[in-house]
Amino acid sequence: MGRDASDIEMLLDLKNVRKTYDGPTGPVTALDDVSLTLDAGQFLAIKGPSGCGKSTLLLTVGGLLRPDEGTVRIGDTEPYSLTADRRADFRARQIGFVFQQFHLVPYLSVLDNVLAPTLATGSDNGRDHAVELLDRFGMSARSGHRPAELSSGERQRTALARALLNRPQLLLADEPTGNLDEENARIVLQALKEFAESGGGVLLVTHEQAALGFADEVLPMRAGRLERVVPGSVD
């Protein structure tokens, strides 16, 4: 039985967002009047080639890049209405990031990399959850290793555990399978899907066709604009 519309919680609401950069030959529009919503329990994928604005969109949603125009709302909060310190705290507690390049701290162990978000929130209660997440992703035996000693798949699973540590509302994933083999890509995408099914929200940006099969909805992006399509028509 489907949920009544009144029971669905909107996690993300973008309205008429624009972002322009100064390029060598003039202004470059990265986001052109972008509007979208993401509900709790939804896995939304944005598909498009490099340079179409996907990463700019993710950074804007994540409170890292202020738009020139439009509004960004996550739950009941407009992050760009907060001070920089309060926005950083909100981001640490409510948003998890998963990047293609992993962004692990090279001199920290796997376990300490997963625990890194607790530094932003001031929590000292994350260790048990970190251990649980590493066990879930088959990384328990590697918890004392440093990133240089890991395969690409192991690094991404570590990064995913880190993103989940603070139990965020929203996961933002930027080409998270771009450096992975097929099996590790499936593990990461399945974990993102399970996060959405548990009531979180996932916004994935990618140009990889295989990743799209895990999403509830796929929106093509071209030249900074999102396009609505009929389900099943994306190729």
CA atoms within 13 A on the CB side of 26: 0
Burial group, residue 176, by CB count within 10 angstroms (0-12, 13-18, 19+): buried
Q: What's the confidence (pLDDT) of residue 119?
A: 72
Has residue 53 been placed in a domain? yes
pLDDT in tens, 8-60: 689 999 999 999 988 888 888 999 999 999 999 999 999 998 889 999 999 99
Mean pLDDT by 10 residues, the chain (235 residues): 55 96 88 96 93 93 96 96 94 92 94 87 76 94 96 94 94 91 91 95 91 92 80 46
Burial group, residue 37, by CB count within 10 angstroms (0-12, 13-18, 19+): middle
Structural domains of the chain, count: 1
Has residue 202 been placed in a domain? yes
Q: What's the confidence (pLDDT) of residue 5?
A: 45
Q: Which of 80, 34, 28 has the alpha carbon at shortest distance from 51?
A: 28
Alpha-carbon gap, residue 139 to 147, rounded angstroms: 12
Has residue 68 been placed in a domain? yes
Residue 91: which H helix or E strand, with range?
Answer: helix 84-94
Burial group, residue 21, by CB count within 10 angstroms (0-12, 13-18, 19+): exposed
Structural domain harbouring 104:
5-226
Has residue 233 been placed in a domain? no
Has residue 196 been placed in a domain? yes
Burial group, residue 232, by CB count within 10 angstroms (0-12, 13-18, 19+): exposed
Alpha-carbon gap, residue 102 to 111, rounded angstroms: 15
Q: Which of 9, 11, 8, 14 has the alpha carbon at shortest distance from 31?
A: 14
Has residue 234 been placed in a domain? no
Has residue 232 been placed in a domain? no
Q: 47: how many CB neighbours lie within 10 A of its CB?
A: 24
Has residue 124 been placed in a domain? yes
In the block, residue with structure tokens 């590493």: 134
Q: What's the confidence (pLDDT) of residue 100?
A: 85
Coil, strand or helix: which one is 213?
A: coil
Kindly report the CATH number assigned to the domain that includes residue 78.
Answer: 3.40.50.300
Alpha-carbon gap, residue 220 to 125, rounded angstroms: 40
What does DSSP say about strands 201-206 and 43-47: parallel, antiparallel, or unpaired?
Answer: parallel
